[in-house]
């Protein structure tokens, strides 16, 4: 809510607190202006300060909050209830200009910076917004019985993904909303499968429950928006009996700002940002869109990544351009790519020191995605860890060359794909097939660099059905 300037008295208005050396310093100046009958003083922490004059009690901080006071002392000139000028801290020239008087504080230094206002102190800011801001949160309130446990209540009401949730109190939700400049009632997306409009406020509520920090919210908003596009087809991904769910890959400087892990255990637990950002998306899908297991979520097995799967690419040490650039974004742009994938499958190759040998190891694993006879249906992410990446870098293989070679190595003899071939009933029907069939559609292998420096391992994340009949990877720029 905008500050209510009409409540200001005309004349000079000062905001101070006793616990501020600069306010103590200018107390004689304030006393002199008050003696002239032109000054109203609001004290944030002691209505008896400054001494020897009438002081308005602002220990509730309401007036300071409404006037957006960021530091004390602050001197205002008010006409007709409207602020006309403002001086922050002590600067003799500015105070004399606002007061229309010369010779103020002749014994004081020319300039002295002030102190932070209590109304913007993190200890008070959210409480003040709740008390005076009329924040207008639209979500329904849930009343709990006096002896009801908050954590258990969230389980009982069906909001949980099976793990404990952070109770989304008004204070926590308002603090979360401070992480974005977008308005709480702005519609971010229409969430499948129930096709419910999801506002920034609803995303913030689920981000609180997931354990996010406010600074994570813009990334969560981008992920929600991308996951709910027709191209990503979240409804289809929920309804499939396959194990896949949304996988988030983050690129750009935001990885460092949020402290995301792209090194040791990059695909695992232990990092708050990667753990909670992916979880927040899944909670939005569950709690806003109705995507609950056993209902629209029909996965026969599922995978642990459906609690939340978020990866930060290690761009700084990568020999290649990041995934975001592969998908058309400028390098250095904060992005999140949403990919329909299952859990990672580790590739072990401890001996290859030449790129051709290592590429063949990768291809052999990629050929087994879902089934050796499943072709032209499923995309995949190849996560290349640093020790394997160095093999290609030292041989001057760029990402395009590696991807092209993997596609070549994943051309499968058609005879091997027929039903019954290899003693497996699975396969394509008929008794004849093309000489060779590609395992992946063009562009269906996406390469990402992350992981620990030690360990000759990489990984494959198999995707869901790709293309127009399934789900396309979606890249979204992260906005504040």
Q: For the segment 244-265, what is each residue's pLDDT rounded down to a tens digit? A: 999 999 999 999 999 999 999 9
State the Cα–Cα distance between residues 465 and 440, nearest whole angstrom: 11
CATH of domain 5-132: 3.40.30.10
Residue 126 has pLDDT above 90, yes or no: no
Query: What is residue 5's predicted lDDT score, i.e. its pLDDT?
Result: 42
**pLDDT tens by residue, 183-195:** 999 999 999 999 9
Residue 4 pLDDT more than 90? no
Q: Does the pLDDT at position 2 exceed 80?
A: no
Q: Is 103 left (phi over 0), alpha (psi -120 to 50) or beta?
A: left
pLDDT band for position 1 (cuts 50, 70, 90): very low
What mean pLDDT, rounded, does the chain reach? 94
Give tens-digit pLDDT for 457-466: 999 999 999 8
| Band (125; pLDDT cuts 50, 70, 90) | confident
Q: How far apart are CA 256 and CA 193, in angstroms?
A: 34
Q: Nearest Cα to 207, choosing from 282, 258, 144, 147?
A: 282
Band (pLDDT 50/70/90 cuts) for residue 135 is low
Backbone angles phi, psi at 77, to 5 degrees: -115, 125
pLDDT in the model for residue 131: 81
Q: Average pLDDT in the 111-128 region?
A: 91
Q: What is the pLDDT of residues 159-183, one digit of tens each?
A: 999 999 999 999 899 999 999 999 9
Distance of alpha carbon 81 from alpha carbon 5, whole angstroms: 6
pLDDT tens digit sequence for 211-225: 999 999 999 999 999
pTM attached to this predicted model: 0.82
Q: Give the Cα separation of 75 and 97 in Å (integer).
A: 11
Per-domain residue ranges of the chain: 5-132, 154-477
Kindly report, residue by residue over 331-361, the tens digit of the pLDDT. Answer: 999 999 999 999 999 999 999 999 999 999 9
Q: What is the C-alpha separation between 363 and 368, in angstroms, rounded?
A: 9
Phi-psi region of 259 (alpha: psi -120 to 50; beta: other; left: phi over 0): left
Confidence at residue 128, expressed as pLDDT on a 0 to 100 scale: 86
Q: Summarize pLDDT for 417-427 with one digit per residue, the tens.
A: 999 999 999 99
Percent of residues, the chain, with pLDDT higher than 90:
89
Which of these, 451, 470, 318, lies nearest to 397 by C-alpha position? 318
Q: What average pLDDT does this structure show over 390-396?
A: 97
H/E segment holding residue 364: helix 355-366
| pLDDT higher than threshold 80 for residue 136 | no
């Amino acid at each position: 809510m905008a500050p209510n300037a009409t409540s200001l008295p005309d004349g000079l208005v000062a905001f101070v607190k006793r616990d501020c050396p600069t306010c103590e310093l200018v107390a004689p100046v304030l006393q002199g202006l008050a003696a002239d009958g032109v000054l109203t003083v609001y004290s944030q922490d002691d209505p008896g300060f400054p001494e020897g004059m009438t002081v308005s009690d602002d220990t509730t901080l309401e007036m300071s909050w409404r006037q957006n006071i960021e530091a004390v002392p602050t001197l205002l000139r008010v006409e007709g209830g409207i602020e006309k000028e403002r001086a922050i801290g002590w600067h003799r020239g500015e105070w004399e200009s606002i007061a229309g008087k010369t010779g103020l504080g002749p014994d004081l230094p020319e300039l002295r910076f002030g102190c932070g206002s209590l109304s913007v102190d993190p200890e008070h800011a959210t409480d003040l917004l709740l008390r005076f801001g009329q924040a207008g949160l639209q979500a329904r309130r849930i009343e709990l019985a006096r002896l009801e446990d908050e954590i258990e209540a969230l389980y009982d009401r069906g909001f949980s993904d099976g793990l404990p949730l952070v109770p989304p109190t008004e204070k926590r939700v308002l603090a979360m909303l401070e992480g974005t400049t977008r308005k709480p009632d702005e519609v971010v997306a229409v969430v499948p499968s129930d096709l419910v409009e999801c506002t920034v406020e609803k995303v913030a509520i689920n981000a609180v429950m997931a354990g996010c920090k406010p600074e994570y919210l813009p990334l969560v908003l981008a992920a929600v928006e991308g996951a709910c596009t027709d191209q990503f087809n979240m409804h289809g991904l929920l309804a499939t009996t396959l194990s896949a769910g949304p996988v988030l890959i983050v690129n750009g400087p935001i990885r460092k700002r949020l402290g995301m892990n792209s090194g040791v255990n990059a695909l695992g637990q232990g990092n708050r940002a990667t753990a909670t950002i992916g979880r927040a998306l899944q909670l939005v899908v569950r709690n806003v869109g109705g995507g609950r297991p056993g209902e629209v979520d029909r996965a026969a097995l599922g995978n642990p990544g459906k609690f939340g799967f978020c990866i930060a690419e290690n761009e700084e040490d990568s020999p290649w351009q990041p995934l975001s650039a592969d998908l058309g974004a400028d390098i250095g742009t904060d992005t999140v790519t949403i990919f329909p994938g299952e859990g990672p499958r580790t590739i072990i190759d401890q001996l290859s020191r030449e790129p051709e040998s290592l590429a063949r190891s990768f291809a052999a694993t990629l050929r087994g995605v879902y089934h050796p006879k499943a072709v032209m249906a499923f995309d995949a992410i190849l996560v290349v860890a640093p020790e394997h990446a160095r093999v290609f870098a030292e041989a001057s293989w760029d990402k395009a060359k590696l991807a092209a070679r993997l596609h070549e190595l994943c051309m499968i003899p058609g005879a091997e794909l027929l039903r019954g071939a290899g003693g497996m009933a699975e396969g394509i029907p008929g008794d004849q097939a093309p000489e060779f069939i590609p395992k992946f559609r063009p562009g269906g292998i996406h390469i990402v660099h992350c992981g620990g420096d030690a360990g000759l391992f990489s990984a494959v994340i198999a995707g869901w059905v790709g293309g127009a009949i399934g789900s396309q990877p979606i890249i979204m720029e992260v906005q504040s």
